[in-house]
Structure 1
Amino acid sequence: MRVCIVDDDPFVTTSLATILAAEPDVAVAGEGHDGNEAAALFERERPDVLLMDIQMPGTDGLAAAERILAAHPDARIVFLTTFSDDEYIVRALRLGAKGYLIKQEVATIAPALRTVMSGQSVLGDEVLDRVDALVSGLAASGAAALASAPGAERTGTTSPLDSLSERERAIVEQVAEGLDNKEIAAALYISEGTVRNHISAILQKLALKNRTQLAITYYRAR
């Protein structure tokens, strides 16, 4: 498989290139150090897999992935990062990334790339733990929201979002797209204070703790 590696630390890209080049079925097709280079590298090399960091100066990995996948929906992008941040995980999976690995798990990279080439997605152990925790929390909060939603018992509601008003659902959709309060206010022609009040009410209504859980609830309900 042909692999391109993008990380803002040249030492990391060189080290990963050395490790992967030692694998009999891996050829390193190129290296880059920011999101813009990642997009250009992908267009030039069309690798089987793009292995990329998330936090990079300028255009980050998530923005680069969004650009690449918009032009090439079948692109195989695997994130390799030091951060198992809930928001990053949600955004990466929403974009359509094929994997999310943690840099400390170096020995798992080559096997993970083979798994991706076989058509499956991969998550590092630490990431799986975070996803399991998020999903478990959502399952519990979703059940509570359904039980308390007005008319839920009568109408057979199957989604916690069914208890929201049209305006609230519009705000949830914007949150899931990654917009902040100022951007949501501009998009919906309301004040930031109104957005904050709506989000607080929505979180309370759905028994959720934060915007990340709200975004996951939205995508699970689609």
Structure 2
Amino acid sequence: MRVLIVDDDAIVASSLATILSAEDDIEVVGQGGSGPQAVAGYARHQPDILLMDIRMPGGDGLSAAEQVLEHDRQARIVFLTTFSDDDYIVRALRMGARGYLIKQDVAQVAPALRSVMAGLTVMEGQVLERTATMGATMGETMEAPTGSLRAPQPRGYGERSAVFASLTEREYEVVEALSEGLDNAEVAGRLFMSEGTVRNHISAVLAKLGLRNRTQVAVLYYRSAGA
């Protein structure tokens, strides 16, 4: 796989390049230190994976990822950062990032990138824990996207991942609505059902999928989008 590394810490970027280049199946095609350099580097090198930090003084990684995905919705972007901030995680998932890793064990980066190349979305354990405790309702944590940010829908509505095979068509429609951050009233309005029926469908979805709250439903939806 061809990897572009972008991190404002030149030592970190260089170290990652050295570690990944030692792998037989990885070629580091370039390095950058800011969001604009990530966008330009992606256009120039067309890497298989863009491995990028989030907080960079020359232009943040989330904004850069948004620009890259506007031109290439199939871009594989993996964030490698020290921040497991809820807002960052949600924005990354919403825009269609393929991975969110924490800078702790760099030895796990290469295996994670291989998983992404295999079509999986990868999240470090600490990030998964954060997604499970973000809040009880989507309205509190999964706000509607702003600007040109949008939820990833590579399958198209109605084309579901196998992880949702146990759901009825109506239940899956509710899952799609929840993934957009709609509250019960908005889901009811879109799907032409009562709020009570929406609540019943949500309860059924949680029970069938073994999840605890609406946030976990949305996270599962985004994680399965690229599978």
In the TM superposition, what are the counterparts of 1:183-194 in structure 2 within 5 Å?
none
Equivalent residues of 1:21, 1:27 under 8 A apart: yes
Amino acid at match of 1:163: A
Equivalent residues of 2:51, 2:80 under 8 A apart: yes
Unmatched tracts of structure 1, length 5 or more: 142-157, 165-214
Query: In the alignment, which residue of structure 1 is the partner of 2:68?
Result: 68
Distance in structure 1 (CA, Å) of the matches to 2:37 and 2:19: 21
Cα deviations across residues 14-35 of structure 1 (Å, max 9, x unaligned)? 0000010111111100000000
Cα deviations across residues 83-139 of structure 1 (Å, max 9, x unaligned)? 00000000000010000000112121000000000001000111011012226x338
Percent identical among aligned pairs is 55
Query: In the alignment, which residue of structure 2 is the partner of 1:44?
Result: 44
Equivalent residues of 2:39, 2:64 under 8 A apart: yes
Q: How far 1:58 sits from its partner (Å)?
A: 3.0
Q: How far 1:216 sits from its partner (Å)?
A: 5.5
In the TM superposition, what are the counterparts of 1:59-208 in structure 2 within 5 Å?
59-134=59-134, 137-138=136-137, 161-163=183-185
| 1:8 matches 2:30 | no
Query: In the alignment, which residue of structure 1 is the partner of 2:146?
Result: none
The runs of at least 4 aligned residues of structure 1 exceeding 6 Å deviation read none
**Aligned residue-pair number:** 156
Which of the two has greater helix per residue? 1
Determine helix, strand or coil for the equivalent of 1:78: strand
Distance in structure 1 (CA, Å) of the matches to 2:55 and 2:183: 32
Amino acid at match of 1:162: N
Unmatched tracts of structure 2, length 5 or more: 141-173, 187-213, 222-227
Q: Which of 1 and 2 has greater Rg?
A: 1
Query: In the alignment, which residue of structure 1 is the partner of 2:191?
Result: none
Distance in structure 2 (CA, Å) of the matches to 1:23 and 1:112: 13
Amino acid at match of 1:3: V
Amino acid at match of 2:24: P
Comparing both chains, which one has the higher relative contact order based on Cα–Cα distances under 8 Å and sequence gaps of 6 or more? 2
Amino acid at match of 1:53: D
